[in-house]
Amino acid sequence: MKTIQPSNAANLISDGATLLIGGFMGAGTPPRLIDALVKLGRRDLTVIANDTARPGVGIGKLIDAKLVSRIVTSHIGTNPETQRQMIAGEVRVDLVPQGTLVERIRAGGFGLGGVLTQTGLGTLAAQGKQVVEVDGKTFLLELPLKADFALINARRADYLGNLEYALTSRNFNPIMAMAAGTVIAEAEDMVPVGVIPPDAVMTPHVLIQYLVCKESANG
């Protein structure tokens, strides 16, 4: 694991990259990494995330800057700008039921061939998807989701890169850390090794390639 400045982390990400971005309505989304991507102006990004937050918040900043060409997400109802861009044909939105989205990411991280679910049967969500029968029941085969990078946020990180999350930040961040080629983590606080209780470590340091440095405090 290497420590890195937000601007240098953003430089690792090329135009057209696929990103898993943690968070739940902005909570658990890495703010300095998002700001660095916006400043750098990386374009044509594919974002896999629970939602696009709100204008000016979290992933909403990427949407505002028109840096995203495709979104795989569970809902966009809280971001009118995402809706506007979708209707205008400026961004492609793939809506995935929230539980299915998490399971598809888990499948990508654990090397599974897919997920069988009855969610979406008989709806638009089933169009073009393979149907599988198991014990007389019908399921949709949902394929795994993986990404070039996972951008995740933690409440605390120790100096090795072990991560602890708070509240709803645990919904997507830990599973996304399993499903990307490169994991870049940002932490609200840095602590010595041993301060985070072992049982509280949700993402072990071996999964983290880069940890964004904590901002310097003056005064």
Q: Tell me how far CA of residue 35 lies from CA of 13, 41, 132, in angstroms.
A: 13, 10, 43
Query: Among residues 80, 40, 32, 46, which one has the least CA distance to residue 60?
Result: 80
* pLDDT tens readout for residues 136-172: 999 999 999 999 999 999 999 999 999 999 887 888 9
Residue 94 CA to residue 122 CA, distance in Å, equals 17
State pLDDT tens for residues 83-98. Answer: 999 999 999 999 999 9
CA pair distance 72, 57, nearest whole angstrom: 18
2: β partners: 210
Give the CA distances from residue 103 to residues 39, 134, 162, 181, in Å, rounded to whole numbers and listed in that order: 32, 18, 23, 18
Give φ, ψ of 78 to 5 degrees: -95, 0
Q: For residues 58 and 49, what is the distance between their CA atoms, to the nearest angstrom?
A: 11
pTM score: 0.93
* Domains within the chain, CATH numbers bracketed: 2-113+144-212 (3.40.1080.10)
Q: For residue 205, what are the β-bridge partners? A: none
Instruction: Tell me what the pLDDT averaged over the chain comes to.
Output: 93
Query: How high is the pLDDT of residue 216?
Result: 52
Q: What is the pLDDT of residue 219?
A: 40
pLDDT tens across 34-84, in order?
999 999 999 999 999 999 999 999 999 999 999 999 999 999 999 999 999
Task: Decide if 28 contacts 168 (C-beta within 8 A).
Answer: yes
